Amino acid sequence: MTEIKDCLPEAARKYFIDLRNIRLKAETDRYQQRLTELRVQLAARGQGRSGWQEMEEWKYKEELSNALATGYIQDAIETCDLYGIPLTDSLCNCFVRAIEELINAQYQSALKVQAEGLSDVKIPLPVRQQGNLRVRQIMPQIRVMIEKARVECQKKALVENDKGKPGSNYTQNITQHGGVINTSQSGNVTTHQLAGNTVNMNDQSDAIKRARDHAESVCAGDAEAIAQEFQLKLDQEREQLAKRGLGTSSVMAHAQVRIECERIRAITQLHLNALLEGCEMYGVQVGDDLAKDFCSDILTEMNKRIDVAQKNILAGIPAATQSDYPQQIAQKIGNAAAWIKSQIDRRRLMPKKHDGDISGSTAQSSIVVHGDVTGSTFQQGNHNVAVVEYNETDIKKIIEEVKAQIGIANLSKESSDEVAADIGTVEAQLASPKPKHHIIRESLKSVRHILEHAMGAATAHAGLPLLMAYLHHGSK
């Protein structure tokens, strides 16, 4: 079996192995804690072992494996970055193969241990009947992670190669509001300063296709994971209501409407986020016309899901409720076109500023170029780094978004206390005369990590677009 360490040069393997071992212990400890808490809670209620518990425990097991798979790739990419190892196609393919073989080996090992009667967490029968679905669910995410890293590596290489190459002369004048700074600068515009897009710079349509392919790849795995999470939520709701004799009542129908609409919005948000992320990766400028095309595409896919949901009424529901069910779905979803457009506009029109002090001071700059620069797209600074400053209002919106998701997440008391402490730290920094940006970022990273484990990575990413965008820009 190919291992990730085998893909790396000998000199870099020890560093990767150390990272891998640290991650393995941290994730395993977290998994064991969650498993113990679940069993203690069920025992305290006097509940015997059930099919639901078996599915929940297996879900924890799968989330552990997924966290290790994605984490090992992050460790491999970090190792390559540290040792200056280029992410070539052959190296990336080796990473993909190693993770796929690891996931298959884990599943076969679990089957073998269970057959020998030695398994602490059993593979539920429905999972065994479906086979190893996790490969189909997690591998698109793995491929996307690797492709993003490969593109960033390629951009860095282009910047290094282009440094110092003379272009046209320019004069740069900068004025700053909130202070007195007047400066001018003259010199040569280097090739990388004139670059508008590092991937197929002369072919925007190819970059758009790559962005769409990226979104399709993300959705191929994560949408199925989100659908399964909400199906489990629906099954749990039905089981609870059935105990009260309401399993086929109008109450159950209303609960199904709510859960179906949450699922549709989560998958649509995933699609939207992935598409805009692809545009950032491949340097696509989302103008008004392209934004309209994206809105139309996403709305079409969303309407397909709505149509399926409207026909998916639970058997045995009263006839009057059944006839009203499609309209309830439509009303609950609301104006989908306006929602999608506002989501896209908020992301594409978010003001780009320099990362640093979040007090809200602004700076303006202008660049006057002398000479022939026909067909060039200008940007200030290094095109490899898209830096965004988030002011106090932006951070407060992120906190509101997080607090809204906390009500959905199934957090343990310890995790809930951790999130509350992190949010408290952020709010304390915002109240400070000189807020420290790195403290805010690290606190929000901690919040993301906790919610990813509690909600599942796919659902957390779909439900926290502002937080994910903030941390994504900050990592560049």
Alpha-carbon distance of 474 to 476, in angstroms, equals 6
Distance from chain centroid for Cα 452: 9
Tokens 């990273």 — which residue? 445
Instruction: Give pLDDT, residue 189.
Output: 47
pLDDT at 132: 65
How many Cβ atoms are within 10 Å of 211's Cβ, its own excluded?
Answer: 24
Low pLDDT (below 50) residues in the chain: 168-186, 189-202, 351-389, 476
How does pLDDT run across 119-150, given as a tens digit for each residue?
888 888 878 877 766 666 778 888 888 988 88
* CA terminus-to-terminus distance, the chain: 34
CA distance 423 to 440: 9
Distant-in-sequence, close-in-space partners of 177: CB < 8 Å, separation ≥ 6? 361, 362, 363, 364
**CA angle, residues 295, 297, 303, in degrees to nearest 5:** 95
Neighbours of 221 (CB within 10 A): 21
How much is the pLDDT for 164?
Answer: 55
> How is the chain split into domains, by residue range?
1-162, 217-349, 394-474
**What pLDDT, on a 0 to 100 scale, did the predictor assign at position 445?**
86
Query: Residue 460: what pLDDT?
Result: 75
In sequence order, what are the residues at sequence separation of 6 or more whose Cβ sits closer than 8 angstroms to the Cβ of residue 397?
A: 466
pLDDT computed for residue 87 by the predictor: 94
Q: Find, among 141, 101, 179, 98, the residue nearest to 357 by Cα.
A: 179
**Which position has the token pair 């989330």?**
63
Torsions phi, psi for 200 (to 5 deg): 50, 60
Instruction: Count other C-beta atoms under 10 Å from residue 418's C-beta.
Output: 16
Q: Which amino acid is it at 162?
A: D
| Residue 43 Cα distances to 31, 33, 50, 449, angstroms | 18, 15, 12, 28
Q: What does each C-alpha distance from 360 to 180, 352, 470 come to in angstroms?
A: 16, 12, 16
- What is the structure's pLDDT at 369? 45
Give the pLDDT score at 390: 55
pLDDT, residue 380, reads: 44
Report pLDDT for 182. Answer: 44
Residues in contact with 178: Cβ distance below 8 Å, sequence separation at least 6, in sequence order: 361, 362
d(CA 193, CA 379) in angstroms, rounded, equals: 7
Per the structure block, which two tokens stand in for 396? Answer: 């407060």
- Residues 6 or more apart from 371 whose CB is under 8 A from it? 168, 169
Residues 352-374 have pLDDT tens digits of 433 444 444 444 444 444 444 44
For 260, residues 6+ apart whose C-beta sits below 8 A from its C-beta are 230, 234, 309, 312, 329
pTM: 0.50
